[in-house]
Structure 1
């Protein structure tokens, strides 16, 4: 038996995604967001989280997913290279354990997502879960801009 990791599962449209639980600091209900002028279209704005300003990113827009959501949005607060960022997702529902043997490397263009964002695909009994590599969701340039936004509003 190989390594077992825990993943938080969330939805974007009808697809299930997972991120390693160690990357997620907390899951929030929607927060009031202050829009920023001339921000990238996937940056919703900033919010005050217990005295800390964090940038909120709509993961649906970032990954070019449809924005039609019937469920309750959630914000996954994650740390990307020491920057706290909130990702808006359609729903964050469960934590599951996935064995290393259940994860396959992503093939080019799976589900229309750039494969550089993917850690792999988890093949479970009746489900396929797309595992995201959060450190690669934002380019270095985007991370620097988000850090500047955050620092200028502290």
Structure 2
């Protein structure tokens, strides 16, 4: 049976996942330089081995309460030739899920402002929402962030 590979991450105490192919790397939370007049969901810029990467706070982007987390991580995603960091509370494991345990998101749950939910999977009796990192930001939002950079 075919499997899909995911990176599991947490926002507050909720588990989410994304396709492993969307993630270029995972790094520990490091010094982020704030962006004056940047979008509210962008925490700032990260210098990662000479690459200057905008960092999107996923809790702010998803309009979630921002509780303090001990082990913040940054998922570095590549959209075409652009690197974008996504701040999460934790990202320390991958998981393989059989295709039979992957379901489309419920239509009632999908709206225009959360079209980034690509599927739902069942893993170890847990329901985990899968986020498509290519759809978190619109092309216009990416352009706006890159113009500030």
TM-score (norm. length: structure 2): 0.91
Alignment of 1:3-152 (within 5 A): 3-108=2-107, 110=109, 114-150=113-149
Q: Structure 1, unaligned stretches of length 5 or more? A: none
- Stretches of 4+ moved more than 6 A in 1? none
Distance between the aligned counterparts of 2:124 and 2:111, measured in 1?
23
Is the Cα–Cα contact under 8 Å of residues 7 and 97 in structure 1 kept in the other structure? yes
Q: Quote how far apart the aligned CAs of 1:111 are.
A: 9.8
Distance between the aligned counterparts of 2:121 and 2:68, measured in 1?
24
Alignment partner of 1:5: what SS?
A: strand
Q: Quote how far apart the aligned CAs of 1:7 are.
A: 0.4
Q: Structure 2, unaligned stretches of length 5 or more? A: none
Q: Deviations over 1:51-102 (max 9, x none)?
A: 1100011011001111113331111111123210111001012110012221
Is the Cα–Cα contact under 8 Å of residues 12 and 91 in structure 1 kept in the other structure? yes
Using a 3 Å threshold, how does the CA distance of structure 1 residues 112 and 123 change in structure 2: closer, same or farther? Answer: farther
Is the Cα–Cα contact under 8 Å of residues 101 and 122 in structure 2 kept in the other structure? yes
Q: Deviations over 1:31-59 (max 9, x none)?
A: 11111111110001111111110001101
